[in-house]
């Protein structure tokens, strides 16, 4: 597979074509898009993709083939990151602040969701976090609620950056539910705090 | 139940004069309303459905629908229904409600805390995902123009120097100053609070909390200044048993009279 000779180039295989399309496309290409562009059936595209995936398997090249964001895309190998950072002088993605990560998680799981709803779940305003996530393209506007509030959802960039094929790759959010014991402790602490407040007298506020 | 339509105002009769003949009451509608509001007729015992039926009978007798009267009637009957439903619901002991509320509130708060926790954990997971993808980059360059399916040219004339100049000119003009008149600046003067404190003093002892009950922070601060001023002038003295405890304020002997005159001026 090292260097291709002239005859191979003159009769490009489907693999070559798919590889070229992936190279050109700025966004992940779905199997259907590839099938339409190359005018072949989906199974053929799939076998071409798996052959390509074989060649681009981790560690073989400076580029990897990834299934992300509802399609296939070429990505750089993490080994090149240091050099890439020197070349582009920009981190691939700035780290997320806790508020941004929380807001992003809520949008990712509950989309489409409005800002007031996010704020209700977090217990604090989500305005600046939402604005930053929007600016970075991690979330986008997706219509309006029946009350006219803008609804937010995640886009392809989110899936790409977080290495997800689809939103279904996210684990069930219920797995982070606290255990009954933790819930009981929390409830007890809450009630104790409530009693302490009540004990301090109603004239306190 | 029977309806006696009053003809005093002809066809366009005001709803107030609708004559009612109910089990509990007979007379014009507006009198019924008055009696209800004075609690001389018990709304809980009054069948509002009968009032509605009486009105419908009246409408039928009249043969035409006067929208204005109908609206008036609907508004009034809706208000009565609301009043009645509140009366029926408040039958429970109020104290009991107060007892339930904190527990319910705590339960609700807990539910929210758990939800927030769930998504905080999810956020942690996203952070791990991002970490795992560290160093993976994608092509960010847009497709070369000649490879795009659709080519968007800047619209005609949008790049003319005149337009640019005009746009810049607009930026250079100073915008009118923004009026802040609608923002009320709270103005509390020490003199006002002095008068307030002296008023309380005339009635005897009082606590600082009483003097600033329901007041905003600014007022509390100014009241404290006023109290210090009174102390300086020797009009008051105070005790505070412990830190953050109640401050009991009382007049200093035979000083009230002489100083009350001074403030007036």
Q: Which of B103, B109, B117 sits opposite A178 (nearest CB)?
A: B117
How much of chain B exceeds pLDDT 90, in percent? 2
> Residue A109: pLDDT above 80?
yes
Mean pLDDT lowest among B19-23, B91-95, B163-167, B224-228: B91-95
How would you label B203-221 residue by residue, b for 16+ Cβ within 10 Å and e otherwise?
Answer: eeebbbeebbeeeeeebee
Q: What is the pLDDT of residue B7?
A: 44
Q: What is the CATH number of domain B190-264?
A: 1.10.10.580
Q: What is the pLDDT of residue B11?
A: 45
DSSP A96: P
> Residue B91: pLDDT above 60?
no
Of B69, B20, B72, B71, nearest to B49 (Cα)?
B20
Instruction: Indicate yes or no: CB of A93 within 8 angstroms of CB of B130.
Output: yes
Instruction: Indicate yes or no: CB of B114 within 8 angstroms of CB of A177.
Output: yes
Nearest CA in chain A to B127: A101
Average pLDDT over residues B99-118: 75
Rg (CA), chain B: 36
> Residue A2: pLDDT above 70?
no
Residues from chain A that touch B121, judged by Cβ atoms under 8 A, are: 176
Choice between B163 and B145, residue whose per-residue pLDDT is larger: B163
Q: What is the pLDDT of residue A199?
A: 56
Residues from chain A that touch B130, judged by Cβ atoms under 8 A, are: 93, 95-96, 161-162
Instruction: Indicate yes or no: CB of A76 within 8 angstroms of CB of B138.
Output: yes
Q: What is the pLDDT of residue B102?
A: 67
ipTM of the complex: 0.73
Beta strand extents in chain B (DSSP E only): 19-21, 26-28, 206-207, 236-240, 247-251
Who contacts A194 (Cβ-Cβ below 8 Å, separation ≥6)? B102, B105, B106
Contact A152, A144 (CB under 8 A): no
Average pLDDT over residues A178-199: 74
For chains A and B, count residue pairs whose Cβ atoms are closer than 8 Å: 123
CA distances for B193 relative to A161, B226, B254, angstroms: 61, 6, 21
Q: How confident is the model at residue A198 (pLDDT cuts 50, 70, 90)?
A: low
pLDDT in tens, A41-89: 888 888 888 888 888 887 788 888 888 888 898 888 888 888 888 887 6
pLDDT in tens, A129-175: 888 889 888 899 988 887 778 899 998 888 888 888 888 888 888 88
Mean pLDDT lowest among B148-152, B205-209, B253-257: B253-257
Average pLDDT over residues A108-124: 87
What domains, with CATH codes, occur in chain A? 11-83 (1.10.10.10), 98-176 (1.10.10.10)
Rg (CA), chain A: 24
Residues from chain B that touch A165, judged by Cβ atoms under 8 A, are: none
pTM more than 0.90: no
Q: Which of B121, B137, B142 sits opposite A176 (nearest CB)?
A: B121
B67-89 and B29-37 helices, crossing angle to 10°: 30
Average pLDDT over residues B83-97: 63
* Residue A152: φ, ψ to 5°: -115, 150
Q: What is the pLDDT of residue B12?
A: 52
Q: What is the pLDDT of residue A203?
A: 44
- Averaged pLDDT score across all residues of chain A: 81
> Residue B61: pLDDT above 70?
yes
Contact A49, A21 (CB under 8 A): no
Choice between B98 and B147, residue whose per-residue pLDDT is larger: B147
Average pLDDT over residues A96-125: 87
Q: What is the pLDDT of residue A9?
A: 54
> Residue B181: pLDDT above 60?
yes
**Smallest CA–CA separation between B80 and chain A, in Å?**
30
Q: What is the pLDDT of residue B150?
A: 67
List helix spans (H) across chain A.
Answer: 6-10, 14-24, 31-38, 42-55, 81-88, 98-110, 115-122, 127-135, 156-161, 180-199
Q: Where are chain B's structural domains?
A: 15-89, 190-264
């Amino acid at each position: 597979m090292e260097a291709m000779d002239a005859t191979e180039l003159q009769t490009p295989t489907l693999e070559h074509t798919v590889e070229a399309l992936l190279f050109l496309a700025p966004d992940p290409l779905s199997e259907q898009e590839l099938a339409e562009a190359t005018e072949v059936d989906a199974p053929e595209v799939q076998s071409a993709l798996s052959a390509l995936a074989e060649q681009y398997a981790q560690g073989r090249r400076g580029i990897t083939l990834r299934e992300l964001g509802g399609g296939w895309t070429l990505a750089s190998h993490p080994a090149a990151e240091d050099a890439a950072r020197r070349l582009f002088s920009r981190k691939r993605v700035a780290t997320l602040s806790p508020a941004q990560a929380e807001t992003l998680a809520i949008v990712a799981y509950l989309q489409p969701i409005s800002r007031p709803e996010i704020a209700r779940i977090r217990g604090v305003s989500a305005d600046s976090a939402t604005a930053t996530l929007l600016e970075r393209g991690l979330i986008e506007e997706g219509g309006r609620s029946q009350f006219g509030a803008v609804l937010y959802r995640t886009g392809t960039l989110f899936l790409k950056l977080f290495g997800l094929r689809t939103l279904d790759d996210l684990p069930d959010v219920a797995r982070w539910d606290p255990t009954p014991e933790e819930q009981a402790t929390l409830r007890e602490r809450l009630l104790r705090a409530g009693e302490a407040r009540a004990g301090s007298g109603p004239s306190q506020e | 139940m029977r309806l006696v339509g009053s003809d005093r105002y002809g066809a366009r009769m005001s709803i107030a004069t609708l004559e009612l003949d109910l089990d509990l009451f007979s007379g014009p509608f507006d009198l019924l309303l008055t009696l209800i509001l004075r609690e001389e007729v018990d709304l809980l015992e009054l069948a509002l459905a009968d009032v509605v039926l009486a009105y419908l009978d009246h409408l039928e007798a009249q043969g035409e629908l006067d929208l204005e009267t109908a609206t008036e009637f609907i508004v009034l009957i809706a208000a009565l229904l609301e009043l009645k439903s509140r009366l029926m619901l408040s039958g429970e002991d109020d104290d009991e409600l107060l007892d339930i509320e904190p527990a319910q509130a705590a339960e609700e708060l807990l539910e929210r805390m758990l939800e927030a926790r769930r998504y905080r954990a999810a956020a942690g997971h996203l952070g791990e995902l991002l970490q795992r993808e560290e160093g993976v980059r994608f092509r960010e360059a847009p497709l070369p123009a000649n490879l795009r399916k659709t080519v968007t040219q800047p619209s005609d004339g949008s790049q003319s120097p005149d337009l640019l100049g005009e746009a810049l000119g607009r930026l250079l003009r100073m915008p009118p100053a923004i009026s802040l008149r609608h923002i009320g600046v709270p103005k509390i003067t020490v003199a006002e609070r002095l008068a307030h404190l002296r008023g309380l003093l005339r009635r005897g002892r009082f606590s600082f909390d009483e003097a600033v009950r329901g007041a905003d922070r600014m007022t509390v601060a100014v009241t404290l200044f006023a109290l210090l001023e009174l102390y300086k002038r020797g009009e008051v003295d105070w005790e505070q048993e412990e830190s953050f405890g109640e401050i009991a304020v009382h007049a200093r002997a035979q000083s009230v009279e002489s100083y009350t005159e001074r403030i007036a001026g």
